[in-house]
Structure 1
């Protein structure tokens, strides 16, 4: 097994790193507050990075998201690529791909996914067009009307296109401007332009067709892998700041980094960050190779949720009192790490789901 990034993937990652370093500076982020960085989004799309994801695959996207996480850049890159570009490219009908991919590639469309990463799909019901709310589920590739609520959807307030799973695990495309779609901004730990989604008979079209509907589990695994990659970058950025601070900050005439307690804390954070990164790489590589990646995506999500929170806490603690300053860049990484951990789900919940999946796979193996 070799999931070493290709030259094309590394080149895209290097370009992303350059753009994020130049534009997503601490001073600029302080000015933005909780707003999305529109100029940065334009720069990324002008460089062709969202469009490149179709060629560099999920592993390439994970590399891009690592760079975004290092800079805590406020753009909907993960949501648009996972719930828009990759989902439509992999599972959309030829007509859907022709209609939806060009604006997603150019950045004219921003996508978001109404997924809950733990406990199954949200309680959204699909009824045939013309039927009353709560009627029997529509079948095949027919359009439907959706009813239900999703409490928190990242980047919802910026999105024009939504990917919404229903309680029966079918995936639907919904326009945020459509009748029956309610969007209420929600304050989250990280500045993700999140919102509460309310669907009241909102018109929707199925992703895919009757013969090949989009698989909910595969799209969920892709999202988990991508957001784990984002967390790997957030953790790497937090750790890099902590190392720089403890190497230059002196106590009793010696750098803080010479203290054994500081060294051990940083070493543990490094190992946790590498575990997130490597498991995300493996899950992404398997998806790109057409292999089963569901348990690997859950593993990456578990590391991102559990270890990610440990790393950003360590990063803040190693800054001492400075880390508690809400205007300091170290605190921004802390906020992002906490939000990603909450979004991916609790560690116990992910482990339970992983155990159920592994047990089911074992039961299906021939004796």
Structure 2
């Protein structure tokens, strides 16, 4: 049995890597540091659209390539390797994929062709204050009024909310969860800028009696719950793929540096302690790769992947933490020099670790599933 990538998967991966390597440099990334400019390369975004990459997992009927979630995961991994200034996860995975999977045909026609062409930008509001579970919103509520919903509450850390055409968000209702597409320019919506360590533009979205028409309602009740569970697993694995790309790049930067840096007249890569540290990073990254690909593969095949998603999430948090620390140590003072690009990778690795949530908490959840016979039992 061949466990390698298919030809189309290799093509997507190589195309993304080529475009990113040609267009994302340390010099270009430096212009976004300290919020000197909005961290969004619109020219690169358009190149992705022209190459068809924004529609890699959009059905051909709506102008996309018609590939699956695995190809999309490889695209996100390459974005992580370059820490590209693009909102791929929030746009393609947290917003566009749920529309394709759960929306009406009319809603798909309205949004998906423009997603694939890059004409519009979508994002998703998955966080609330003191609530890291996107499947259980409780600070944002929705009340039915005729065919419409009236929303109140607040979402935090919403990427690119200020320029998004729609924001996918979930709100608690009397019979479950409502998932809607919010117009950030609608009456009653206010945005407050937040600052984060990666300099990605994020916002608090406050809702005060915001009316959502029937055309912007994706799901309600139990259907809304199912949508958010489906979305949460794919967004989590996408973050793991991004973490994989960034971890792999930081590891390779460290290997390259230690193969050139001399101390006491010899290459430091020949020091046993350095070699062991680098080898541990390699093992960590390959374990993260295996578990991330396993989760992506099961989701791509429409299989239950709750256990695999949790395992990948644990590895992503721990590996990002360990690799970022090891890379800093192997580089010495160079690692924290902001004229050298490693610090940006370490910042993103730490940010992704925090965004995924504590590994210990996820490990406890997995342990409960195993104890209850819900994991790895025949």
User: What is the TM-score when the length of structure 1 is the normalising length?
Assistant: 0.90
Distance verdict in 2 for CA 1:211–1:352, change over 3 Å: closer
1:38 corresponds, among 10, 17, 42, to: 42
Whole-Å separation in 1 of the counterparts to 2:350 and 2:202? 15
| Pairwise CA distance, 1:44 | 0.8
Q: Which residue of 1 aligns with 2:61?
A: none
Q: 1:361 to 1:112 in 2, by over 3 A?
A: farther
| Pair 303,156 (structure 1): closer, same or farther in 2 beyond 3 Å | farther
Query: Hey, what does 1:8 align to over in structure 2?
Result: 8
Match of 1:224 among 236, 245, 266: 236
Instruction: State the secondary structure of the residue aligned to 1:166.
Output: strand
Unaligned runs of 5+ in 2: 59-65
* Cα distance in 2 between the residues matched to 1:69 and 1:219: 20
- Give the equivalent residue in structure 1 for 2:256: 244
Instruction: Go from structure 1 to structure 2 and tell me whether the alpha carbon gap of 1:262 and 1:76 turns closer, same or farther (over 3 Å shift).
Output: same
By how many angstroms is 1:212 displaced? 5.0
Cα distance in 1, alignment partners of residues 222 and 281 from structure 2: 47
**Which residue pairs with 2:338 in the alignment?**
326
CA distance 1:237–1:178, change in 2 (3 Å): same
RMSD of Structure 2 on Structure 1 (CA): 2.3
Query: Residues 353 and 114 (structure 1 numbering): CA distance in 2 closer, same or farther, change over 3 Å?
Result: farther
What is the CA deviation profile of residues 50-106 of structure 1, one whole-angstrom value per residue up to 9, with x for unaligned ones? 101232222111111111111111100111111222111111111111111011111
Asked whether the 8 Å contact 1:155–1:194 carries over to 2, the reply is yes
- Structure 1 distance, partners of 2:315, 2:98, is 24
Structure 1 range deviating more: 152-161 or 337-346: 152-161
The verdict on how the C-alpha distance between 1:355 and 1:127 changes in structure 2, with shifts beyond 3 A counting, is farther
Checking the alignment, whether the CA contact within 8 Å between 1:85 and 1:105 is kept in structure 2 is no
Structure 2 residue aligned with 1:302, among 314, 333, 338? 314
Shift of the alpha carbon at 1:235? 0.3
1:148 matched to 2:153? yes
Q: Is the 8 A contact 1:93 1:209 kept in 2?
A: no
Is residue 98–residue 227 contact of structure 2 (8 Å, CA) maintained in 1? Answer: no
Counterpart for residue 49 of structure 1: 53
State the Cα distance separating 1:32 from its structure 2 match.
Answer: 3.3
Whole-angstrom CA distance in 1 between matches of 2:123 and 2:372: 31
Q: Residue deviations 1:125-146, cap 9 Å, x none? A: 111137xxxxxxxxxxx53122
Q: Which deviates more, 113-122 or 77-86?
A: 113-122
For 2:328 and 2:4, the matched residues in 1 are separated by 31
How many residue pairs get aligned? The number is: 354
Equivalents in 2 of 1:143, 1:83: separation in Å?
23
- Tell me whether 1:186 sits opposite 2:194 in the alignment: yes
| Cα deviation code 1:261-308 (max 9, x no counterpart) | 111111111122122222111111111111001221122112111221
State the secondary structure of the residue aligned to 1:248.
coil
Please report how far the alpha carbon of residue 248 of structure 1 lies from its aligned counterpart in structure 2 after TM superposition: 0.4
Q: What SS does the corresponding residue of 2:67 show, helix, strand or coil?
A: helix
Are the aligned partners of 1:146 and 1:203 in contact in 2 as well (CA < 8 Å)? yes
Structure 2 length as normaliser, TM-score? Answer: 0.87
Match among 337, 351, 354 for residue 342 of structure 1:
354
Q: CA deviation at 1:309?
A: 1.5
Partner of 2:284: 272
Deviation at 1:233, TM superposition (A): 0.3
The 2-side partners of 1:265 and 1:203 are apart by 55
Report deviation, 1:201. Answer: 2.1
Give yes or no for contact 2:151–2:209 (8 Å, CA) kept in 1.
yes
Matched residues in 1 for 2:120 and 2:367: separation? Answer: 38
CA contact (8 A) 2:247 2:319 kept: no
Q: Quote the Cα distance in structure 2 between the aligned partners of 1:42 and 1:218.
A: 28
After TM superposition, give the deviation of residue 160 of structure 1 in Å: 2.2
Say whether residues 1:362 and 2:374 are aligned partners.
yes
The question of whether the paired residues in 2 share the 8 Å contact of 1:5 and 1:59 is answered with no
Contact map agreement 1:189 1:338 (CA 8 A) in 2? no
Is residue 3–residue 282 contact of structure 1 (8 Å, CA) maintained in 2? no
Choose from 126, 140, 147 the match for 1:115: 126
In 2, Cα distance between equivalents of 1:330 and 1:273:
17
Preserved CA contact (<8 Å) 1:158 1:193 = no
> Are the counterparts in 2 of residues 224 and 301 from structure 1 also a CA contact under 8 Å?
yes
What stretches of structure 1 of length at least 5 have no aligned partner?
Answer: 131-141
